[in-house]
Amino acid sequence: EYKEVVSKEFKINAKPRITDEAMYGTDRDIYGQLTRLLGREFSIKLAAQVLYGNGTGKAARGILSSNRVDITDLTGESWKPTLAADPANARDADFFPVKATGVSGALGADAEATVDFVIDVANELPTEYLGRAKWYMNRKTKGLFEKVRNTDGDPIFRMNYRNGTLELNGFPVVIDDTLPDVVAESTFAIFGDLGSAFAISKGDIDKMLIDPYTVDGCTVIKTDKEYFEIVQASDAILVLAATANA
């Protein structure tokens, strides 16, 4: 059956100050440096909102937040199927499915279990999304996969570079160090077609105001940006969790 999902507005803003001495009394382009730093800071804040926003006020409902992932043992929304004979038993369309490692705080009980986990993740993603599927993880998690070894001590997962792209088990790996580490109950990685699963778009508000009057002796750079987020095809990704819950 069809289900309704609703977009949500979220905002990011900043109000850094530059003293008059720094603004006018130096040969260095302090204002130019600040605007460059603001761009970097906004990209970090946007990533944090997209992943972890708690949905309150002007915050996003982050992909890994409790608004989108529920791994409560036995009853969590993220354990439910996308489709069910009785629609009441299907997963809420605003929640993403989760694949558990089966061990709290680890990729698997041993090397064999970790290999099975990687294979099962790819096989559980619907076929229509595999062509655009990628792994999303931080560098520490990549290192954990690289350290999985067979009985001869040889690495099982050899990260391949094809056309300059890092790959794991034939799928590209995107390194995002804002993703969690593998610790107990963490949702440490994502696999799938993220562009089909989640969308963000810019709103009408995108302004920067240079205010030299409100604060004596300072110029305040007031910056505001508006975005909207929405779940699209929730089954286009699997969130990977280091948990024994199911």
Of the chain, the end-to-end C-alpha distance in Å amounts to 25
Main-chain dihedrals φ then ψ at residue 147, nearest 5 degrees: -90, -5
Regions of the chain short of the pLDDT cut 50: none
Question: pLDDT of 140-173, one tens digit each?
Answer: 999 999 999 988 999 888 777 667 778 999 999 9
Q: What are the two backbone dihedrals, phi and then psi, of residue 19, each rounded to the nearest 5 degrees?
A: -70, 155
Q: What is the pLDDT of residue 186?
A: 98
Euclidean distance between CA atoms 232 and 214, whole angstroms: 43
**β-bridge partners, 162:** 165
pLDDT of residue 111: 95
Q: What radius of gyration do the chain's Cα atoms show? A: 22
Sign of CA dihedral 45, 46, 47, 50: positive
Per-residue pLDDT at 158: 76
Q: What number of other Cβ atoms are within 10 A of residue 133's Cβ?
A: 21
Residue corresponding to tokens 């810019």: 202
CA 81/CA 85 separation, integer angstroms? 10
Q: Which two tokens stand for residue 225?
A: 């940006």
Q: What is the mean pLDDT of the chain?
A: 94
The pLDDT, as a whole number, for residue 195 is 97
Please tell me the predicted confidence (pLDDT) of residue 23: 86
- Widest pairwise Cα distance in the chain: 71
What is the value of pTM for the model shown?
A: 0.91
Q: CB of 23 within 8 A of CB of 245?
A: no
Residues linked to residue 220 through DSSP beta bridges, in sequence order = 17, 211
3-state secondary structure 101-168: CCCCCCCCCCHHHHHHHHHHHHHHCCHHHHCCCEEEECHHHHHHHHCCECCCCCECCCCEEECCEEEE
